[in-house]
Chains A and B, each alone.
Chain A
Amino acid sequence: MFKKTTLALALASCFMFPLASQAEGTIVGLITKTNTNPFFVKMKEGAEAKAKELGIELRSFAGKKDGDNDSQVQAVENLIAAGAKGILITPNDSKAIVPAIEKARAAGLLVIALDTPLEPANAADITFATDNFKAGELIGQWAAKSLGDKAADAKIALLDLNASQISVDVARNQGFLKGFGVDLKDPKKMGDEDDKRIVGNDITEGSEEGGRRAIENLMQKDPSINVIYTINEPAAAGAYEGLKALGKEKEVLIVSVDGGCPGVANVKAGVIGATSMQFPLLMASKGVEAIAAFAKDGTKPTTTEGLDFFDTGVELITDKPADGINSINAEEGTKKCWG
Chain B
Amino acid sequence: MSTESSGSPTAEFEKVAAAAAARGTVASFEPERLTLLERLQRFMHNYPTAAPAAVLLLAIAIFYLIVGERFLSPFNLSLILQQVVIVGMLGAAQTLVILTAGIDLSIGAIMVLSSVVMGRFAIEYGVPSGFALMIGLITGAICGGINGLLITRFRLPPFIVTLGTWSIFFALTLWYSESQTIRSQDISANASLLQWTGITFDLWGARITVGSIMLILLFAVLWYALNYTAWGKHVYATGDDPQAAQLAGIQTKYVLLSVYIVAGVIAAVAAWALIGRIGSVSPQAGVNANLDSITAVVIGGTSLFGGRGAIFGTLVGALVVGVFRNGLALAGVDVLWQEFAIGVLIIVAVALDQWIRRA
B282 in contact with A205 (CB, 8 Å)? no
Q: Give the Cβ gap from A246 to chain B, nearest Cβ, in Å.
A: 9
Instruction: Give B52-64 as 1s and 0s: 1 = Cβ < 8 Å from A's Cβ atoms.
Output: 0000000000000
For the residues of A in contact with B, the DSSP-based class is helix
Q: Does A238 contact B (CB under 8 A)?
A: yes
- B278 contacts the other chain (CB 8 A): yes
Structural contact, B179 and A205, CB atoms closer than 8 A: no
The complex places the Cα of A99 from the Cα of B171 at a distance, in Å, of: 30
Q: Within A1-55, which residues are at the interface with B (CB < 8 Å)?
A: 2-3, 6-7, 9-10, 13-14, 35-38, 41
Q: How far is the CA of A158 from the CA of B334 in the complex (A)?
A: 13
Q: Which of A41, A163, A208, A217 contacts B330 (CB 8 A)?
A: A217
Q: Which residue of A lies closest to B146 (CB)?
A: A3
Residues of A within 8 A of B174 (CB): 35-36
Q: Which B residues lie within 8 Å of A220 (CB)?
A: 70, 76, 79, 326, 329-330
Q: A234 contacts the other chain (Cβ, under 8 Å)?
A: yes
A237 contacts B334, C-beta separation under 8 Å: no
Count residues of chain A with CB under 8 A from any CB of chain B.
46
* Pair A339/B335 contact, Cβ less than 8 Å: no
A2 neighbours in B (Cβ, 8 Å): 142
Known: A9-B171, A202-B329, A220-B70. A212 touches B277 (CB 8 A): yes
Q: Are B326 and A38 in contact (CB under 8 A)?
A: no
Q: Does A330 contact B (CB under 8 A)?
A: no
A245 contacts the other chain (Cβ, under 8 Å)?
Answer: yes
Asked, given contacts A202-B335, A207-B287, whether A265 binds B83 with beta carbons under 8 Å apart, the answer is no
Which residues from chain A contact B76 at a C-beta distance below 8 Å? 220
Q: A10's closest neighbor in chain B, by CB?
A: B168
Assembly CA distance A35 to B286 (angstroms): 17
B180 within 8 A of A: yes
* Interface membership of B97, Cβ < 8 A: no
User: What are the 6 tightest A-B residue pairs by CB atom distance, in nearest-first order?
Assistant: A10-B168, A208-B278, A13-B171, A217-B329, A241-B279, A163-B336
Known: A2-B142, A212-B277. A266 touches B183 (CB 8 A): yes
* B:132-178 near A, CB below 8 Å: 142, 146, 167-168, 171-172, 174-175
Task: Name the prevailing secondary structure of the B interface residues.
Answer: helix
Q: In chain A between 205 and 248, which residues have their CB closer than 8 angstroms to a CB of chain B? A: 205-209, 212-214, 216-218, 220-221, 234, 237-238, 240-241, 244-245
Query: Does the CB pair A245–B334 fall under 8 Å?
Result: no
Residues in A156-193 with C-beta less than 8 Å from chain B: 162-163, 191
Residues in B330-345 with C-beta less than 8 Å from chain A: 330, 332, 334-336, 338-339
CA distance A203 to B333 in the complex (A): 12
Interface string of B69-89 (1 = CB under 8 A from A): 010000010010011001000
Chain A residues whose CB sits within 8 angstroms of the CB of B200 once the complex forms: 245
Is the C-beta of A262 less than 8 angstroms from some C-beta in chain B? yes
CB distance from A222 to the nearest CB of B (A): 10
Shortest distance from the beta carbon of B191 to any chain A beta carbon, whole Å: 16
**Is A71's CB within 8 Å of the partner chain B?**
no
A146, CB-defined interface residue at 8 Å = no
Q: A35, A163, A241, A266: which contacts B277 (Cβ < 8 A)?
A: A241
Cβ distance A208 to chain B, nearest Cβ, rounded Å? 4
What are 7 A-B contacts defined by CB distance under 8 Å? Answer: A36-B284, A163-B339, A207-B285, A216-B82, A234-B181, A237-B181, A245-B198
Residues of A within 8 A of B278 (CB): 208-209, 212, 237-238, 241
- Contact status B167-A10, CB under 8 Å: yes
Q: Which residues of B contact A10 (CB under 8 A)?
A: 167-168, 171-172
Is residue B313 contacting chain A, with contact meaning CB distance below 8 A?
no
* A269 adjacent to chain B (CB < 8 Å): yes
- Chain B contacts with A in 254-283, Cβ cutoff 8 A: 274, 277-280, 282-283
Residue pair B181, A13 in contact (C-beta under 8 Å): no
Residues of B within 8 A of A269 (CB): 185
Contact B179 A41 (CB under 8 A): yes
> With an 8 A cutoff between CB atoms, is A200 at the interface?
yes
Residues of chain B within 8 A (CB-CB) of A334 are none
Bound Cα distance from A244 to B207, whole angstroms: 13
B79 touches A216 (CB 8 A): yes
Q: A163-B335, A207-B287, A266-B183 are in contact. List 16 more A-B contacts (CB 8 A).
A: A6-B146, A6-B168, A6-B172, A7-B168, A10-B171, A13-B168, A191-B334, A200-B332, A201-B335, A207-B282, A208-B279, A208-B285, A234-B181, A237-B278, A240-B279, A262-B183
Residues of the B chain whose Cβ atoms lie less than 8 Å from the Cβ of A271: 185
Taking CB atoms, residues of chain A closer than 8 Å to B336 are: 163
Output the least CB separation between A104 and chain B (Å): 28
